[in-house]
Amino acid sequence: MGPNGLTRAIELYAEGRTLVQIAREFGVAKKTIRKRLVEGGVVIRRGGRASWESR
């Protein structure tokens, strides 16, 4: 996942995709996506159903 991949992952996350969904798209583990997003300055949303229901 190069710089373009990170930019795309950040965009997807900002659109509301989950870490799992993004990981599947890139063919990597969820923790890899999480690590890269954090390195890119993204604040990770709290997981779980409640966070989605409040939207």
Q: Would the pLDDT of 15 be above 50?
A: yes
11-40 mean pLDDT:
96
Question: What pLDDT band is residue 36 in, cutting at 50, 70 and 90?
Answer: very high
Sequence-separated (6 or more) residues with CB below 8 Å from residue 37 = 6, 9, 10, 13, 19, 44
Residue that the structure tokens 């159903």 belong to: 49
pLDDT at 11: 96
38-43 mean pLDDT:
94
